[in-house]
Amino acid sequence: MKIGMNSGTFPASLNPAQKIEATARVGATGLEINIDANQLWTQRLDKAARANLRQQARDAGVEITSLCMNAHWVFNLASPDVRIRDLGVSLLLDAIEMASDLEARAILIPGCDQDQSPENKWELFCNGVMQAIGP
């Protein structure tokens, strides 16, 4: 069995390389990277920075296993506001590219907020996912 960490486990003051090192120090072999609405630092990583991050993880013996779309709790694909849904789709499209660059094999997409989403939340959520990944 492999044990992984979520990057949100670590203090926000740690940079990505430090989070990789901390993951390795505790003996975990995987790291899930959060795409957080409060920071969106992942949006500022170009292909070269992503390749460097991937190599840092390899050197530490850590696999970047997945990305978690925490930002979707704010930019919810099931929001009644189309502008918010569109931002969520844009973030998901960027995450798909980032996952490919980091060789992460999965993206976790949080679902619908049960209390704040409209009645057709499941349909809106599915439509947002399909916009990003296609038919």
Domain boundaries of the chain, sorted by first residue: 4-133
Give the three-state DSSP class for 62: coil
Query: What is the reported pLDDT for 21?
Result: 96
Q: Residue 38 has what pLDDT?
A: 73
Q: What is the distance between the alpha carbons of residues 74 and 131, in angstroms, rounded to a whole number?
A: 18
What CA–CA distance (Å, rounded) separates 71 from 92? 9
Q: How many CB atoms lie within 10 A of CB 17?
A: 14
Integer Cα distance of 135 and 26 in angstroms: 41
Phi then psi dihedrals of residue 8, to 5 deg: -70, -10
In order along the chain (135 residues), what is the average pLDDT of each group of 10 residues?
91 91 96 83 82 96 94 84 91 92 94 67 86 80
What homologous superfamily is domain 4-133 in, according to CATH?
Divalent-metal-dependent TIM barrel enzymes (3.20.20.150)
- Could you tell me the pTM of the whole model? 0.85
pLDDT score for 28: 96
